[in-house]
Amino acid sequence: MSEIKQQQSTDPVDSPLIKGALDIDPWLKPFSEELLYRRNLADDWLKKFQEHEGGILNFADSYKRYGFQVNKDNSVSYIEYAPNAVQAAVIGDFNNWEHETHVMTKDNFGKFHITIPPGADGQVAIPHDSRIKVLFTLPSGEKVARLPPWIRRATQPPKEYNNPAYESRFWNPPEEQHYHFKSSRPAAPQSFKIYEAHVGISTPEPKVGTYKEFTNNVLPRIKALGYNAVQLMSIMEHAYYASFGYQVTSFFAISSRFGTPEDLKELIDTAHGLGIHVLLDVVHSHASKNVEDGLNMFDGTDHCYFHSGGKGTHSQWDSRLFNYGSYETLRFLLSNLKYYLEEFRFDGFRFDGVTSMLYLHHGVGEGFSGDYNEYLNPFGTVDKEALTYLMLANDLCQSYGKTIDFKVTTVAEDVSGYPTLCLPRVAGGVGFDYRLSMSVPDMWIKILKHKNDEDWNMGNIVHTLVNRRYGEKCITYAESHDQALVGDKTLAFWLMDKEMYTNMSVLSPLTPVIDRGLSLHKLIRLITHSLGGESYLNFEGNEFGHPEWLDFPRVGNGDSYHYARRQFNLPDDELLRYKFLNNFDAAMNKTEEVYGWLNYPQAYVSLKHEGDKVIAFERHNLVFIFNFHPTNSYTDYRIGVETPGKYKIVLNSDREEYGGHSRIDEEVSEFYTTDLPWNNRKNFFQVYIPNRTALVLAPA
């Protein structure tokens, strides 16, 4: 603590605790005192954890102590935090739901304790996978049964029960049913190419897919496409399937509708064996309002883990908001992260709803101009407790990674552009590795929705793709999973919805609509991939232009699963044109794998020609040329390059296997530079670039 005070007593600009951030962005200097103050908020928590818990890693080991724990002697220990309750008892199938047989003891810190001895046969007294709850007596005398927050298994009861509320289960499979990991975690790639997926929809059949089906059918597809990471959505248990996993009810239970915890472990282990990283889409920004099978009103109050009153409710999401300044809330959330890292061997996290967490207004009805006062005004709208939690979450991930000699990756879903979000904690940042470039998919939808092809503005496209903070890495994507939902349109739908059901067969003539759609779909993905960030993300199905939206079963559609699926059979059908987009996606990823452009310094854009509709840029010794013109092809088109020599085509969107017209004879296409300046580059070469075509060239 004295070290922190000493740092505060000197000029904050000179503090080594934030110097790295100020070196990267000198415009932060007027806010150095506030940056230092915010860093110290998190550092003070670290000191507290060190003094009282033995450090943040031990603090996050609380999942091994709280909830139900099976001891070596087959007794079961149970600890639960419920400060408002006056009495508690364990009830379940094991004791015929009697509330007087297993009464818990309450300590002075609001925690209830009990140890349940083994049965007469020496075995665990609570049967594996049996139903179990905790029964509280409230100060009013009312008795309420709740699902334990730390429970590791929750399942939906049979339909004949006529009660949709999930049931908590005591998960303690026998040793022979445990999954044992075989593969080590693959080293973090230099550039992430992420396949975002939802297990339940990952099957062509109108049903809920399983972990095992994903392991057997989808992981090989992801590998073949050239992705080196998979980001799994909707894993944390959510009672309402149509919430897309964003209304979590049980944070330590993985979704039972997809299978068992052992099945998920097998999925992750198999991915590791294929060299694929596995990221978890973690929802710590809010929680379901469910009382019967969620955290809400757990101990009879609205503030056990959440803020009370209006501050604890998200008006638009109709959900509960965590109190990140609470010691026990931090215990719960940080332990939740370590649980998934350690027990399931996830390689990192994509934190959902970071914008909502960062601001007291949760981003509702707010625009962000980029003025630093919006983020760093000491009296502004930033929720400093939530910001502190995000710093601590990154501290935990990095500290855990060091114990296993592995880089845990963290990604922030933030639309606000909060400065220092993706700078290391040691440099004075929040600590994330990447933020999502959420403005890019919005740009493409606006262009397709409101602009004719001849009106596309090359300068605006480039500006949106390169407009990111220096020194803070971004994951770029051409379309988001939200755009796949019913009521919106994917890129493929915006481009081809009039003919996707009638003219995608190779046996039918190629129509202008389908030709345009296939061509622009490839160009949009490649320019986003190569110019927009340091990593790339694709939502499953978009790689081949999935023809239907995503609509989960709900009352409004008669609980239909017809649109809650991905039709992977389409790109596998040699008679359908979906295969062309799928082939190009694989070629795009594999070209990057061989030659590299992601995670390299931003490209130098030498050309943004509005009349010709041509964009050209260089990144990591590669030359990218895009002709977006709807009709004009150009012969001997001059492209400025910095490095002289001979160049060859390594990716051509006009190839026949990508649904193109094979207008370029690559066998004879060699390009030699001329030693004359062009477009502010020292050299140039000349190429043939057909309309709606992209080329990638590398030194030969």
Between CA 68 and CA 50 the distance in angstroms is: 25
Report CA-CA distances (Å) from 370 to 205, 219, 381.
45, 40, 14
- Per-residue b or e along 540-566, where b marks 16 or more CB atoms closer than 10 Å to that residue's CB: bbbbbbbbbbbbbbeeeeeeebebbbb
- Residue of 413, 433, 534, 618 marked active site: 413
SS3 state at 394: helix
Q: Are 288 and 249 in contact (CB under 8 A)?
A: yes
Q: How many residues does the chain have?
A: 700
Give the rounded distance of the alpha carbon of 672 from its chain centre: 43
Cα dihedral 658, 663, 667, 669 sign: negative
Q: Are 217 and 254 in contact (CB under 8 A)?
A: no
Q: Would you state the structure tokens that stand for residue 512, as one six-digit string?
A: 């202008």
Report CA-CA distances (Å) from 62 to 149, 340, 410, 448.
13, 13, 21, 50
User: Facing residues of 627 across strands?
Assistant: 614, 693
DSSP, residue by residue, 329-341: HHHHHHHHHHHHH
SS3 state at 179: coil
Cα dihedral 571, 577, 578, 584 sign: positive
Own/partner contacts of 328-331, CB < 8 Å, gap of 24 or more, are: 328/81, 328/110, 329/305, 330/45, 330/59, 330/389, 330/392, 331/59, 331/60, 331/62, 331/66
Cβ-based neighbour number of residue 448 at 10 Å: 17
Between CA 322 and CA 304 the distance in angstroms is: 9
Report CA-CA distances (Å) from 397 to 143, 348, 572.
39, 8, 39
Cβ-based neighbour number of residue 432 at 10 Å: 29
Nearest to 658 by CA among 594, 590, 588, 593: 588
Between CA 80 and CA 613 the distance in angstroms is: 63
Q: Are 428 and 16 in contact (CB under 8 A)?
A: no
Amino acid at 693: T
Q: Would you state the structure tokens that stand for residue 398, as one six-digit string?
A: 């990095």
Is residue 465 within a helix (H) or strand (E), and if so which, with residue range? helix 458-466
Which backbone phi and psi does 261 adopt, to 5 degrees? -55, -35
Asked about 352 being catalytic, the answer comes back as yes
Q: Is 370 exposed, middle or buried (0-12, 13-18, 19+ CB in 10 A)?
A: exposed
Cβ-based neighbour number of residue 505 at 10 Å: 12
Cβ-based neighbour number of residue 119 at 10 Å: 13
- Residue of 352, 433, 472, 551 marked active site: 352
Q: Could you list the active site residues?
A: 352, 413
